[in-house]
Structure 1
Amino acid sequence: MKIAIFTDTFLPDVNGVAKTLGRLTKYLDKSHHSYIVISPKLTKNEMNAGQIYRQSSFPFPLYKDCRISVPNTLHLKEIIKKFQPDIIHVATPFSIGLAGLRLAKKYGIPVVGSYHTDFDHYLKYYHLTLLSKALWRYMEWFHQPLLRIFVPSMVTRDQLHKKGFQRLQIWQRGVDMNVFHPDYDYSVIRQKYQIKQKYILSYVGRLAPEKNVDLLPEIAKQLPPEWRNNIHWLIVGDGPSKADLTNNWQDKVTFTGFLPQKEVAHIVAASDLFIFPSETETFGNVVLEALATGTPVVAANAGGVKNIIQEGFTGKLCNSNHIDSYTNSIQTILEDAEWRKQLKQNAIRYAQKQKWEERFEELLYSYHQVIEEIKTKQKHA
């Protein structure tokens, strides 16, 4: 197959969409499918490389880590005419995604899309809920022509189904067990970050309001003193909330900033618990990665995460924004070493079944189905 991917975020961006699409392109390389990626240019002097065609972009004023692209329509037409894709996959609903939709319509190319981000839920964290109706009208309009809408979880599928979206199909995520596994030397992390406390609790992700990270220092603060004194927190990531978190955190904590995947995996593997309060995840890749290292997860009972965590089997799901729910879960797991060991084993077994290769084969099979459906319709037209 020849696949054209249109996305407003791609590597080296650090987010779930960019990482997933990066893994997809690596898999397409291995499986000898042809592809091109249309994505934003991150720096002025950035050049197109191989199958990656970068479009001019600028930071989004309200969220500077996101970029707004200005696609070169004439250039994209030439690229598409030359490449002649069998299918177009639009991964984001912004300017580059719109360009993909228009080109698919212009040249009669089958078009599918994937829904990665719960933008509506994001609005409440930026006090923009008045835009919710307009956002959904736009999202419905944008997704209406798509022959498949790939969603990462049952929660997201149900949410979109209630909004009247059609042709929904679950496409879950996988985990790289070559990187995320339990067989690390945990003492290395303790030495590197000078951790003397008995327990390590970690968080990995963007430090931003929509990830609900402001709950983390509150959770730390409300743990009983005998627990607080025995816990060291490792916070991996960066973002606009970092300054507030640093100022509000009164306990033993280390902010590592962004780290390479291997270092992230090492930290999470060395942790006794992974804490994840985000309610806006359509899936929650980092949660699955934590389970792959054998680290039980305490997370919000919301979004796609609740389709990953099996309550009491691989972790605990907490009432959203109820700090007591988090502190009780943390204490319950930490004080029961035998149960923690069982959670670890359960987590690894579950994660080992979630292979990226199988997920990508499912996606490629769906591409093939869509292409064949169009051919059949054209034959009988």
Structure 2
Amino acid sequence: MVSVGVFIDLRWHQAAGGHVKCWESFAKAAATLPEELTLSLHFLGDQEQVIELAPNVRYILHPPRFSTERLTFLKDVPGHTDIAPSNPSLIPYLEKLDIVHITHPQFTFGKTAKRYCQQQGKPLIASIHTDTPEYSRIYTEQALEKLFGQGWLNQLLSQQLQIPRRYKQLMVARQKRYWQSCAHVLTAQPSDFGVVNTVLPKSHISHLRRGIDKELFHPQHRDRSWLEQTYNIPPGKFLLLFVGRLDACKNILTFAQAVKVLLDQGLPVHALVVGQGSSDQEVQAILGDHVTLTGTINHDQLGPIFASADLFVFPSQTETIGNVIVEAKASGLPVIISSHGGAYQSVQASGEDGVVIEDDLPETWAGAIATLYHDPDQLAQMKQATLAHIDQHWPTWLEVLQNDLLPVWQAVASIPDRVTKRP
């Protein structure tokens, strides 16, 4: 039996993003392993609260000490976090654990856990879920534009002094320093390995896959009539689905502009956009009556939406893997995704079980969509290949827990008096 606490510097709520949903899925899987694992997931919440999921699994919510919600220029970030230097109220929980596992090195949970583990010689493990440095660059650019507009001062800071790029470099350096203090780091995409390997030996690095719930996301949930009636979608349209935050990090405007190109060409397409974000009004302005904006929908209600669309189009370049891509494929929905970031891991061969696009030009994305629209046979073949890939090669969340996480936790916990201090 190993006792593990995972510290996730994000709020827990029903509309949380893929990072939180990932750990919710691991928690559900952990409930089936009561003899091997005690798991606590620590999130941010309005008040201190313990939520029991099973005798061996619980969520623990902690109020933030200094939330980014206080900073008005960060109101559009994907998920608010805590940026206080430390949170002493975590110490009693840290003391009870065999393994401390963090998912955000830069924020309060991560800083507090690192300091405690260094002082006590307790093993610290980190996993990569988000491309935090790239997110930092994008949101720094947006913050500068909001503060100073498009004028000369913004040009000076963003272009000449390259503040967003420099901030990204700073975040990369901070991550590396943090990883030096870890007994093990779990990566999300192949490019992560080389970066972590600059500060840790290969034996202390491994890959953490993402799982899929093959019952929740399955073609059997397809019901196009229900989808059209529920969301007032015009019948007879080629339905293009986007699921995610509506902001620059997810490249939503490339999606909207690509749909506009297709509409200008006379193709009978309609966009279904699930999520919320700072670009929602701009998407509406670009597409008018040819887009349905649903807002946020609970994760357990997404299955029929994925299964009932015609094509999943996701230009995001900041994914480490992209849970929504896997969920679309498991639902039998062909995908068009970006080659940038780690999203490409979810497609075996571009043109067979999905399409991988090299750039973010709307015309390129529109061309890929149009090709599939005009070739129903290729689209049908891609759908079959999509399903085969998930059925034959993609693990469940329980399999990932048993093969990728639990062995690392057990191995690190079994090393006596491990000290993770590093210079």
Task: Give the TM-score of the pair, scaled to structure 2.
Answer: 0.82
Are the aligned partners of 2:313 and 2:336 in contact in 1 as well (CA < 8 Å)?
A: yes
2:40 to 36, 40, 45: 36
Report what 2:401 is aligned to: 360
Which deviates more from structure 2 when the two are superposed, residues 124-133 or residues 181-190?
Answer: 124-133
CA distance in 1 between partners of 2:243 and 2:233 (Å): 19
The alpha-carbon deviation at position 198 of structure 1 amounts to: 2.9
CA–CA distance in structure 2, aligned partners of residues 344 and 191 of structure 1: 24
Distance 1:245 1:194 in 2: 16
- State the AA in 2 paired with 1:369: A
Displacement after TM superposition at 1:108 (Å) = 2.1
In the superposition, relative to structure 1, how do residues 139 and 67 fare at CA in structure 2: closer, same or farther (>3 Å)?
same
Cα deviation, residue 39, structure 1: 2.3
State the distance in 1 between where 2:62 and 2:234 align.
Answer: 45
Matched, 1:90 2:129: no
Which residue does the alignment assign to 2:89? 75
Return the alpha-carbon distance in structure 1 between the equivalents of residues 266 and 397 of structure 2. Answer: 38
Give the structure, 1 or 2, with the largest relative contact order (CA under 8 Å, sep 6 or more). 2
Q: Which residue of 2 aligns with 1:183?
A: 220
Provide the alpha-carbon RMSD of the alignment.
Answer: 2.2
Cα gap change, 1:226 to 1:325, in 2 (>3 Å): closer
How many residues of Structure 1 are paired with residues of Structure 2 in the alignment?
371
Q: Distance in 2 between matches of 1:367 and 1:344?
A: 37
Identity of aligned residues (%): 25
Shift of 1:21: 1.2
Q: Output aligned runs, 1:1-381, within 5 Å.
A: 1-9=2-10, 11-12=12-13, 14-32=16-34, 33-41=37-45, 43=46, 45=47, 47-50=49-52, 51-57=58-64, 58-60=67-69, 61=71, 62-64=73-75, 65-68=79-82, 70=84, 73-81=87-95, 83=96, 85-93=97-105, 94-126=107-139, 127=141, 128-158=164-194, 160-161=196-197, 164=199, 166=201, 167-184=204-221, 185-192=223-230, 193-223=232-262, 225=264, 227-228=266-267, 230-250=268-288, 252-309=290-347, 310-352=349-391, 353-354=393-394, 355-362=396-403, 363-372=405-414, 374-375=415-416
Q: Is the 8 A contact 1:8 1:69 kept in 2?
A: no
Name the SS of the counterpart of 1:9 in structure 2: strand
Q: Which moved more, 1:3-12 or 1:111-120?
A: 3-12
Which 10-residue stretch deviates more, 268-277 or 183-192? 183-192
SS of equivalent to 1:218 = helix
Instruction: Show the counterpart of 2:161.
Output: none
TM-score w.r.t. the length of structure 1 is 0.90
**Structure 1 stretch displaced more, 119-128 or 345-354:** 119-128
Letter in 2 for 1:365: P
Runs in 1 of length 4+ with deviation above 6 angstroms?
Answer: none
Per the alignment, in what secondary structure is the counterpart of residue 191 of structure 1?
helix
2:325 aligned counterpart, secondary structure: helix
Deviates more, 1:14-23 or 1:284-293: 14-23
Amino acid in structure 2 at the alignment position of 1:19: K
Structure 2: 5+ residue stretches without partners: 53-57, 142-163
